[in-house]
A and B are shown apart, each in its own frame.
Chain A
Amino acid sequence: MSRAKLQGLGIDLPLFPVTSVGSFPKPDFLLKARAEYANNRIRRGALEKAERQATEFWIRKQEELGVDVLVDGEMYRGDMVAYFAENLEGFEEGGLVRSYGNRYYQKPIISDEIHWDEPITLEWWKYARGITKKPLKGMLTGPYTIMDWSFIEYYPDRRTACLALAKELRNEVEALVEEGAKIIQIDEPAISVRPEELPVAIEAMHIMTDGLPAYFISHICYGDFEKIYPGLLDLPVDNFDLEMSNSGLDMLELFKRSSYTKDISFGVVDSHSHEIENDRIVEQRLRQALEVIPKEAIWVDPDCGLKTRTVDEAIAKMQAVVNAARVLRKNSDE
């Protein structure tokens, strides 16, 4: 359990702390601003103003809902990999490829040596921290996922590309820590893609986190978890943020077979469904988690980023998460 580590960092959280995976939907005014910017109808400054306004909207909304550990909502990002590729040297922009259904993303191309020049997410983290007193996660996409979701033309193989990325992205983590970030999430949704490459992902995460005074979370989703568990427990982070409800909580069976030893951000609502989960269903999912994982180790959140939902759906899903956490907290007190 890492509660002692959090307390050592000066962070005191309630039982079942509520957080979110990272992204929230962009409000209409920001979508309009992004479209206008893409068509050269507004300047960069006007877009950034809309992004700040949208960030504040989500910070306030999370506070109103009663979320315990906030995110900035990623209003400034298009895609979780393309955003970093746009801000690191060595990448060129690729065209659109489909991720699922009617969703597409611009898959970057690693066409030269990767280099981190200056902080990428830091200014947004500082802006969000300036408008809330709640704990705020620093957020970045991990090196394995950026490598896996890019076309590799420059480096001879995947491992070399991944470790080069880790070495450069460590600068970003250090910049966040230096500025005061205590909780940092490094998203690695691709980590289960090629089980034989898990050691590469672990090696890269060591490069990213070793020796740094922060509580690290890694978000992992939509993969064949069975093939990388329990080896995944060697990933040097404190908390795995996992998509549990989409897969019918079947990972709990794995945890029964081989003990789960980290904190967990337990996904209790499906991020890719329009349906708003009933409070009782969400509570039930959490109760099932409690049968396998100690209560002190459980955080609660949606399965994945909520950016593909409408604003109203995202708020309603977060409300369901908060409601369930409150009921369980109350029951724990009794």
Chain B
Amino acid sequence: MELMLCNHSSYPRIGDDPDRQLLRRTIAQYDKGEKTEEAVRAAQDRMTELALAEQTEAGLDLVTDGQIRWADPISHLAGKLSGVRVNGLLRFFDTNFYFRQPVVQGRPERREPLLLEEFRFAQEKSARPVKAVLTGPYTLARYSVDENGGSGGFDEMLEGYTAALAAEIAALAAGGAAVIQIEEPALLSYIDDFPRFERCLTALAMNKDSSQLALAVYFGDPAAVYDQLQTLPVDILGLDFTYSPGLVDRVASSGTARTLMLGLVDGRNTRLEDPAATARQLEKLARGAGLNRAYLSPSCGLEYLPRDRARQKLRQLAVIRNTFLGSLS
């Protein structure tokens, strides 16, 4: 089996040394009127370059920009759309991270590119291919407040977000993104709503052109919806294995029609995975599901970990791969 290593999505934008606290410092100074927007952008550029370098140094085959510029996974996208204003704080799933909640007051519409410039910057600075990552329309809609007053309610909001993100996917594909990842953690809290979700994904997939489209679900157990996920028009399916001790067996026995992104390394806890134990899980998956090609990744974005531990987790991916390949030879 060809096993590639990739980052999931986010990466810490702070560290313990002063160089890696540049962005925090600059934003704090900007808030006091002591720095300009250009200075904040320069700090974001610098931290993005550091995130890319650390992923490359860890030996990843596919990296991300670390979402360094994102205030949070929801408002960074929704807040750029017309018809949407950003409101107070709300907890992001079961993490201790908080996002600004969008309030939809009209149809969400994309007036300008959302992530294209960020992607271009990262690709230009990276020695490895960069995966573009977007929070999906279903998760955006589930975390938004509908104040539109129209009769369409949630569906109208969802349709607006889907159209906006479909346009962004077209732009990213035209901009050279080899892999575009849609993050949809909210699906696992609403698995009965799969038909509606499927319609969104189908609309997004129509715009992917020659890019590979990845869907990442996490912060929950995907076992109950695994067969349905296999029917979606995506090329890569990312799964979080940390919520479900039985998921390895489930995937091994069911197989896959998609390339899998195996989130076997816990992106939420500092405890490092035992390479031998994780390699055994990989063997089971490779043999049982008949995998020819897969990605090994953290279970979710790494921003929930301190930077030193996030870096260790990435390095551990390579250790696990070596152990796995060693066990095959």
Residue numbers in A under 8 Å from B91 (CB-CB): 192-193, 222-224
Contact B88 A272 (CB under 8 A): yes
Query: What sequence of 0s and 1s flags, for each residue 172-203 of chain A, a beta carbon within 8 Å of any chain B beta carbon?
Result: 00000000000000000010111000000000
A96 to B305, CA, bound (A): 8
Query: What sequence of 0s and 1s flags, for each residue 67-87 of chain A, a beta carbon within 8 Å of any chain B beta carbon?
Result: 000000000000000000000
Residue numbers in B under 8 Å from A98 (CB-CB): 12-14, 97, 303
Contact A247 B270 (CB under 8 A): no
Residue numbers in A under 8 Å from B24 (CB-CB): 102, 104
- Report if A94-B270 is in contact (Cβ < 8 Å); known contacts: A222-B90, A224-B91, A246-B89: yes
- Report if A102-B269 is in contact (Cβ < 8 Å); known contacts: A97-B12, A246-B88: no
User: Chain A's nearest CB lies how many Å from the CB of B21?
Assistant: 8
Q: Which residues between 22 and 45 of chain B lie within 8 Å of chain A, taking CB atoms?
A: 23-24, 27-28, 31
A247 to B90, CA, bound (A): 9
Contact of A153 among B28, B99, B270, B303 (CB under 8 A): B270
Contact A151 B89 (CB under 8 A): no
A contacts with B, residue count (CB < 8 A):
30
Residue numbers in A under 8 Å from B28 (CB-CB): 102
User: Chain B's nearest CB lies how many Å from the CB of A153?
Assistant: 5
Residue numbers in B under 8 Å from A152 (CB-CB): 269, 271
Residue of A nearest to B10 (CB): A98
Residue of A nearest to B145 (CB): A248
- Report if A99-B270 is in contact (Cβ < 8 Å); known contacts: A94-B306, A104-B14: no
User: Does A148 interact with chain B (Cβ within 8 Å)?
Assistant: yes
User: Does A116 interact with chain B (Cβ within 8 Å)?
Assistant: no
Residue numbers in A under 8 Å from B94 (CB-CB): 193-194
Residue of B nearest to A92 (CB): B270
Contact B98 A151 (CB under 8 A): no
User: Chain B's nearest CB lies how many Å from the CB of A33?
Assistant: 18
Residue numbers in A under 8 Å from B307 (CB-CB): 95-96
Residue numbers in B under 8 Å from A190 (CB-CB): 96
User: Does B309 interact with chain A (Cβ within 8 Å)?
Assistant: yes
Residue numbers in B under 8 Å from A194 (CB-CB): 94
Residue numbers in A under 8 Å from B72 (CB-CB): 100-101
Residue numbers in A under 8 Å from B96 (CB-CB): 97, 99, 107, 148-149, 190, 193
Q: In the complex, which range does the number of interface residues on chain B fall in? A: 20 to 34
User: Does A139 interact with chain B (Cβ within 8 Å)?
Assistant: no
Contact B97 A102 (CB under 8 A): no
User: Does A298 interact with chain B (Cβ within 8 Å)?
Assistant: no
User: Chain B's nearest CB lies how many Å from the CB of A301?
Assistant: 17
- Report if A96-B14 is in contact (Cβ < 8 Å); known contacts: A102-B28, A149-B96, A194-B94: yes
A109 to B270, CA, bound (A): 8
User: Does A270 interact with chain B (Cβ within 8 Å)?
Assistant: yes
Contact A100 B98 (CB under 8 A): yes
Residue numbers in B under 8 Å from A224 (CB-CB): 91
Residue of A nearest to B99 (CB): A100
Contact A151 B97 (CB under 8 A): no
User: Chain A's nearest CB lies how many Å from the CB of B276?
Assistant: 19
Residue of B nearest to A109 (CB): B270
- Report if A96-B88 is in contact (Cβ < 8 Å); known contacts: A153-B270, A190-B96: no
Contact A97 B303 (CB under 8 A): yes
6 shortest interchain CB distances as A-B pairs: A95-B306, A100-B98, A151-B270, A246-B88, A102-B27, A193-B94
New A-B contacts (17) at CB < 8 Å, excluding given A100-B89, A100-B98: A94-B270, A96-B12, A96-B16, A96-B306, A96-B307, A97-B303, A98-B13, A99-B96, A100-B97, A101-B71, A102-B27, A106-B306, A153-B270, A193-B96, A222-B90, A246-B88, A272-B89
Could you tell me which B residues sit within 8 Å of A by CB distance?
12-16, 23-24, 27-28, 31, 71-72, 88-91, 94, 96-100, 269-271, 303-309
Query: What are 22 A-B interface contacts by the 8 Å CB criterion?
Result: A95-B309, A96-B14, A96-B306, A97-B303, A97-B305, A98-B97, A99-B97, A100-B89, A100-B99, A101-B72, A101-B100, A102-B28, A107-B306, A148-B96, A151-B271, A152-B269, A193-B94, A193-B96, A222-B98, A246-B89, A247-B88, A273-B88
